[in-house]
Chains A and B, each alone.
Chain A
Amino acid sequence: MKRDRTVAMLGYALVILLLAGPFAPRWAMFLTNIALCYGIAVLGMMLLMRTGLVSFGHGLYFCLGAYAAGTLEMLFGVSDMALMLLAATVLSGVVAAILGLLLRKYREIFFAMLSLAFSMILYGLLVKSSSLGSSDGFNVTARTLFGFNLANAPYERYVIYAITVICAFAAAVAIHKYLASHNGRLAGAIRDNELRVEYMGASVRNTIHVNYIISAVLAGLGGALAGISVGHVDPVMAYWTTSGEFVFIAILAGTGNVLAPFLGAAIFETIRSFAYEYSPNTWQMTLGITMLVVIMFLPGGVWSLFARARKAA
């Protein structure tokens, strides 16, 4: 059996990202920060895709997590980053546990559509909630971390960045372990043939439900981190285009390895930032063409290039 180097690679990435942070230019650190937030959300998407499901409504949890973090400060005056993240993951998990009761019965396009409907309901609600800033959203600031004061400290940005890096690392390792576990291996079997999985005595619906909750928690965590990093949340996070971006990144990257979503998110954010900078009217076109090229020539996503190279070595 081949040695599993994924965790080691994740470890290297963690150390490099943490060390490089203070020396990197601010824009690069911010870009990495946002890419990691998206990467965490897409990691959840990847888990769902490995189960054979595509959600066109994961923006729901991304937005829910961000708003959970934000409202904690706005309504209850709690602005500790750790508590914000905790609130985001718990809320996403609870909502996913409830919605999962319904969604676990759905497959394919119907799963995608029902999750789309749920996220659009949240969008519609938020746009009309004037106490939460309607369509403008509101600002979010994490003032403390485990009680240590962050506000106005020169290293504030770096701390947020470092927390994001650590969260991404933890999430990736956890999902990697999970995929190798009993439940994780069932995912691929369910994608291939549900009926046989049922014949062999495993519950397809339970597995899907659990995976759905995990992916929602990740999306919520990513959303909360994104909200805190950007310093602002708005309802567009629940709009279908956000969910579409997650699916986009997952397809772009491929679902072969837990590193893939982060790679995909990095590529996506880089294209978006640079294309937006240099030709604001064609950045979507760039993304679309990239997407078509990947679908046509790299059905396994960008990650399959690495996998192929490693196999050849």
Chain B
Amino acid sequence: MSQLLAVLIDGITYSSWLFIIAVGLTLIYGVMKILNIAHGSLYAIGAYTAASIAGHWLAEGYAPMGSYAMILLSAVLVGLIAGPLIERGLLRFMYGRDEIVLVLVTYAVFLILEDFVKLVWGVDPYFLFQPYGLLGNFDIGGLTYPNYNLVLFGAALLIGGALYWGLTKTRQGKILIAVIHDREMAGALGVNVGRVYLVTFTIGAMLGALGGALTAPMISVQPGIGVEVIVLAFAVVVIGGLGSLTGAALGAIIVGLVRSAAVHYLPEVELFSIYLVMAAVLILRPKGMFSAAEARKI
């Protein structure tokens, strides 16, 4: 019984984490049709920035609770700087090219940013463990968990809710949906498509960085963390259906629970269970679980 409970709690925590790292990816794909490999680097940069800024904050002896604000600030900073830089400086020259070419462009950006991280922060690991333990623990069924898990869960809910509300209930969101459906028509009707893309990419970048910043307290921040995250995020969004918000949530829950079950019951299959699910979903529902049918254009 307690093992099942552990599977559930670990699964939910892991799902929340997956949702946070994957949602930016699906947002950018949904609007811009770019499968952004550089998302992994933004995650890494977010983690490093948080480790630096929040680490500095704690080292200076300011109120420890402020480190959470610093984590948030790092993500916003990274998003606001890297997002416009990549979108305005590079991607906007590429619109209209093949989807695959755009994937490769972001792959190139990914390679560049991987080394950028090493140049700025060096190759030694950074640690930002204080925020993880600061909130204390909670007990459930004889198991003890850090309250930080709840922070992740809350953040995932908040992000998902805010995006859902923003997309369906606000004017900007409706404009965004118009752009998704028909970019040229929306442009002809007076929507500033370039600005919509810029804002979308910046928000997506911010979410990627936030994923990294929130993860920083749980791991040792070192080179290579982005490489693993990006395939995981791919798996999540592909399972749910590329570009679908509900899909990303469902994909995160599935992958999270599958992995947590694998870790507890069959540790040998942990790593590839996720990709097994990804392949299975793609085989049964080639475009993922939540994806609208598309008319074939000749």
9 nearest A-B residue pairs (beta carbon): A124-B272, A288-B111, A124-B271, A288-B112, A285-B115, A291-B108, A120-B275, A117-B279, A288-B108
B112 touches A285 (CB 8 A): yes
Q: How far is the CA of A167 from the CA of B268 in the complex (A)?
A: 37
Q: With A54-B100, A128-B271 known to touch, is A292 a contact of B105 (CB < 8 Å)?
A: yes
Which residues of chain B come closer than 8 Å to A283, judged between CB atoms? Answer: 115
- Give the residue name and chain of the B residue nearest to A250 (CB): B104
B286 touching A282, Cβ below 8 Å: no
A116:B231 contact, CB within 8 angstroms: yes
Contact with A along B256-279 (1 / 0, CB 8 A): 000000000000111111111011
- Whether B104 contacts A291 by the Cβ 8 Å rule is yes
Taking CB atoms, residues of chain A closer than 8 Å to B111 are 284-285, 287-288, 291
B1 at the interface (CB under 8 A from A): no
Query: Separation in Å of the A255 CB from the closest CB of chain B?
Result: 12
Taken residue by residue from 121 to 145, chain A's Cβ proximity to chain B (1 for < 8 Å, 0 otherwise) reads as 1111101100000000000000000
Task: Confirm or deny: B109 has a beta carbon within 8 angstroms of a beta carbon on chain A.
Answer: yes
CA distance in complex: A49, B72 (Å): 42
Query: If the complex has contacts A102-B283, A120-B231, A282-B115, are A292 and B108 also in contact, measured as CB distance less than 8 A?
Result: yes
Is chain B's binding surface mostly helix, strand, loop or mixed? helix
User: Which chain A residues lie closer than 8 Å to B35 at the CB level?
Assistant: 109
Number of A-B residue pairs at CB separation under 8 A: 117
User: Secondary structure of the A side of the interface?
Assistant: helix
Give, as a whole number of angstroms, the nearest-CB distance from A2 to chain B.
29
Chain B residues lying within 8 Å of A244, measured Cβ to Cβ, are 107
> Of B198-206, B234-242, B245-253, which stretch is located at the interface?
B234-242
**A13 on the interface (CB 8 Å rule)?**
no
B69 located at the interface, meaning its Cβ lies under 8 Å from any Cβ of chain A in the complex? no
Is A295 within 8 A of B227, CB to CB?
no
Q: Which residue of B lies closest to A296 (CB)?
A: B93
| Interface size grouping (class) on chain B | 35 or more
10 A-B pairs in the complex with CB atoms less than 8 angstroms apart:
A110-B287, A113-B234, A114-B283, A117-B275, A121-B276, A125-B272, A195-B298, A284-B115, A288-B110, A292-B90
Cβ of A61 to closest chain B Cβ, rounded Å: 16
CB of A64 within 8 Å of the partner chain: no
Interface string of B152-168 (1 = CB under 8 A from A): 00000000000000000
With CB as the reference atom, state the residue of chain B lying closest to A113.
Answer: B238
**In the complex, A123→B228 CA distance in Å?**
12
In contact, B268 and A128 (Cβ under 8 angstroms): yes
Pair A295/B101 contact, Cβ less than 8 Å? yes
Q: Does B95 interact with chain A (Cβ within 8 Å)?
A: no
